[in-house]
Structure 1
């Protein structure tokens, strides 16, 4: 098991950490979707950022989970990927 996974599993034993981790699940899913779609299209962060009219550093921050993108920003990223942003409540 890699050190990240081991550290995460150990950290998840702490109830406060586990609650915060769970609260951020949607953000992680959105960021993972962006990364997966970008990679599937063979795009670098810079290429996608250029398509979206944003700085590569800002896209990098979002992909790393260090930002809270607006719906407008997510729509720009979707458009840059040739996709449509769809938000659903399940």
Structure 2
């Protein structure tokens, strides 16, 4: 069986040709960029979701839902998540 594989950037380029996809992607990009930064910081420190939850005083399921993008976090949640990793959140309007 011969499978054709495409890279994620190739798939992104194809999908980005659809104007509705592009609009929605651009709308959600800041959210997923921040999630990726927090996941990367957690992985760099070799901290599990359970450990991060313990540091934040929340449940592991909240961390899991946040990292999967299925939870719309409050600003306080984001500040606590960053602080649990020794980081801080910075925002800018552009």
Gaps of 5+ in 2: none
* TM-score, reference length from structure 1: 0.84
Gaps of 5+ in 1: none
Query: 1:1-90, aligned counterparts within 5 Å?
Result: 5=8, 7-90=11-94
Pair member with larger Rg: 2
Q: CA separation of 1:48/1:4 partners in 2, compared to 1, >3 Å: closer, same or farther? A: farther
Q: CA RMSD in A?
A: 2.0
* TM-score, reference length from structure 2: 0.81
Q: Deviations over 1:5-30 (max 9, x none)?
A: 25544433321111101111100111
Q: How many residue pairs align between the two structures?
A: 90
